[in-house]
Amino acid sequence: MAEIIKSLRLLLFALLILGLFVMLLRTPQLGRLFYPYPYRQTIEKYGMEYRIDPLLVAAVIHTESKFNPEAVSHKGALGLMQIMPSTAHWIAQQLQLGPLTKEQIMEPETNIRLGTWYLANLTAEFNGRLDVVIAAYNGGRGQVGRWLARGVWSGSYADREAIPFPETRQFLFKVRTAYQRYQELYR
């Protein structure tokens, strides 16, 4: 009997500690440690210019690079927003910026400008469908367009398991999760 009481006390104590930990995780101060907002001024500047929610941009950066401006993916995506050089050059042409070097693409202000413009461009192409925009940012606009046209994916977050690329499914989940946290912490 003494062993049962001891086990119950230990279980109760563990549940109490777990409850306190969960409460602590929900505080804005701790939440901001896990979801920081560096480059806020630049993100908000280009978010306003291109009419994209800056918190969505922050969520994409958080997911793509964890705000590491030196990030380079195994596929060659560069900087905070993990932009492929070919995409960066295309965006630079659209914005009439002239040719960009790898160093320029990785520079935080330029990278945020390019990535935010690209999110705005995808938003226009996909009629503001947030989940489709996020998936296209990762999986490519042409690929996502084909999935939608062929009925492979409905474009709905609830139907994300139908997305053929596991990386894009995960990206959509991570960005949506981060976006929700950024809205809770910084809205």
**Residues identified as active-site:** 64
List 83's β-bridge partners, or say none.
78
Q: What six digits make up the tokens of 147?
A: 């999935």
The answer to whether 176 touches 133, Cβ cutoff 8 Å, is no
Distances (CA, A) of 183 to 49, 59, 180: 20, 9, 5
Taken in order 123, 124, 126, 128, is the CA torsion positive or negative?
positive
Distances (CA, A) of 169 to 25, 39, 66, 130, 155: 26, 27, 18, 14, 11
Distances (CA, A) of 147 to 10, 13, 82, 137, 174: 52, 50, 23, 14, 20
Rounded to the nearest 5 percent, the helix, strand and coil shares of the chain are 70, 0, 25
* Short-list 119, 137, 144, CA closest to 174: 137
